[in-house]
């Protein structure tokens, strides 16, 4: 939570995130290419560029980390420093990069 924003309401700041295919070290079987990405914006909305897709199995491996990456973390927290996540398919060895792309400000009372 942040201090009131001048309107007397408390505001929560969360980072918008982009998960990008950084590299594929094996054979690509899911049809994704290096550079393909999905964005998590406005706290809980996933966006995939038109005409593209993102493999649900790759996505499920990164999803548990995203709520923590959305928040400010202490500088010495391992999750503040690490940004790479591997897909669970051992033949594909797809590596994704999680990066912060903006800040979303939400009224705290609108959140659950």
Query: Which structure tokens are listed for 46?
Result: 């996933």
Query: Which structure tokens are listed for 72?
Result: 């400010």
Q: How does pLDDT run across 59-87, given as a tens digit for each residue?
A: 999 999 999 999 999 888 888 889 999 99
**Alpha-carbon gap, residue 1 to 41, rounded angstroms:** 18
Mean pLDDT of 82-104: 94
Confidence of residue 107 (pLDDT cuts 50, 70, 90): confident
User: Under 8 Å CB-to-CB from 95, ≥6 apart: which residues?
Assistant: 21, 22, 23, 24, 25, 84, 85, 86, 87
**Alpha-carbon gap, residue 9 to 106, rounded angstroms:** 10
């Amino acid at each position: 939570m942040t201090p009131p924003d001048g309107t007397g309401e408390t505001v929560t700041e969360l980072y918008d995130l982009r998960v990008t295919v950084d590299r594929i070290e094996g054979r690509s079987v899911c049809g994704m290419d290096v550079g393909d990405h999905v964005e998590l914006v406005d706290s809980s909305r996933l966006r995939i560029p038109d005409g593209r897709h993102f493999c649900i199995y790759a996505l499920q491996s990164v999803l548990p980390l995203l709520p923590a990456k959305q928040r400010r973390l202490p500088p010495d927290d391992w999750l503040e420093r690490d940004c790479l996540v591997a897909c669970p398919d051992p033949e594909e060895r797809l590596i994704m990069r999680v990066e912060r792309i903006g800040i979303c400000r939400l009224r705290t009372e609108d959140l659950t």
